[in-house]
Structure 1
Amino acid sequence: MMMTPRRLGLLGLCLAPFAIAGWFWLTWLSPWTYERPDSLPEVASGEHHLFVYGTLRYAPIRWLVYGRTGDPQPVELHGYQRKGLDLVPSAGDSVEGLMLTVDGEELAHLDRYERLGIRYFRQQVTLSNGQEAWVYRRIEG
């Protein structure tokens, strides 16, 4: 049986979801693509609050990264502005986002997703609701 362009296209459509799922797994969940730098402190157990302003605002991404969508609260982070994938200090500005409440294991999964110590660092900030929370910021350089 000859592979016509139509059959090749159909085969590509059938295989695309598996390729995408494999890429997500390899990038964010596999043990082979991220090694937590030794210089980082261990993630403390217990409850953590996290301010998110990018892809983690979307429930399906949160579910893929740490296994649940949670109950996010809309908040703002004053004194910053969004610049590409980062937040930069900027008096008078604010960034809209969500506050997530996660446990230590979930925070470790989020650290992996954000490539903590390689691509991002975590910083403690005070949100518009008065809550202290972590936020991921880009490592310069």
Structure 2
Amino acid sequence: MSWGKRLSVGLLAGAVGVTAWLWLTMLSPWFYERPDELPTIEQRTHQVFVYGTLRYWPVRWIVMGDSGSPEPARLEGFERHGLDLSPSDHSHVDGLLLTVSPRALERLDRYERLGIRYERIEQTLADGTTAWVYVRLPEVSLMDSAPAYGIALLPYEALPVTAQRLVALPTN
């Protein structure tokens, strides 16, 4: 096979792989289930402030199926750390203000893993517009969250002998 055919096959395989990954992570019915405690999305137009990957139109089209009619916007009182925001009195974050449908907001919630990775809070932007902003949830260790998910934590001595052998504790 010539180098041209190999390159074409390689590019095609790469494109299929990327497409499959994007579909699985952003659109598929697997890998995300909206937590029951989250309120339902109001059936109205929503304003959303974005500051990370959603600033790029290809990502917005893949995630929402729409551009969101982006406009430049500024969020005062926060600073950006990678894809996270943290409160900071004398800072601001520049981004975009999107106007989205309830369906697009649902797709954004899925993309941001609302209730698992991010929470959506209402904030007032520099121009006075109120918009949803996705803010990273604090990291929680498994031990902190275990009781909340119904996981029983047992002391080592309460485990059956066979389980104790699997969890070999260091001896002094």
Q: Give the TM-score normalised by structure 2.
A: 0.76
Count of matched residue positions in the alignment of Structure 1 and Structure 2: 139
1:128/1:20 CA distance change after superposition, 3 Å:
same
The alignment partner of 2:46 has SS state of strand
Aligned position for 2:170: none
2:52 is the alignment partner of 1:60: no
The one-letter amino acid paired with 2:136 is R
Structure 1 position 103, deviation (Å): 1.4
The alignment partner of 1:18 has SS state of helix
Structure 1 position 6, deviation (Å): 7.6
Aligned position for 2:74: 76
Structure 1 window deviating more from structure 2 (130-139 vs 8-17): it is 8-17
Structure 1 position 11, deviation (Å): 2.6
2:105 is the alignment partner of 1:97: no
How do residues 19-38 of structure 1 correspond to structure 2 at under 5 angstroms? 19-38=17-36
Q: Which runs of 5+ in 2 are unaligned?
A: 140-172
Q: Which of residues 41, 45, 48 is equivalent to 1:47?
A: 45
Q: Which runs of 5+ in 1 are unaligned?
A: none
Greater relative contact order, per chain length (Cα 8 Å cut-off, separation 6+): 1
Aligned position for 2:143: none
Deviations 1:76-130 (A, max 9, x none): 1001100121110001110000110111111000000000011100011000110
- Name the one with the larger strand percent: 1
Percent identical residues: 51
Q: Give the TM-score normalised by structure 1.
A: 0.92
**Coordinate RMSD, CA, aligned:** 1.5
Aligned position for 2:10: 12
Query: 2: CA distance between counterparts of 1:130 and 1:138?
Result: 23
Query: 1: CA distance between counterparts of 2:83 and 2:105?
Result: 19
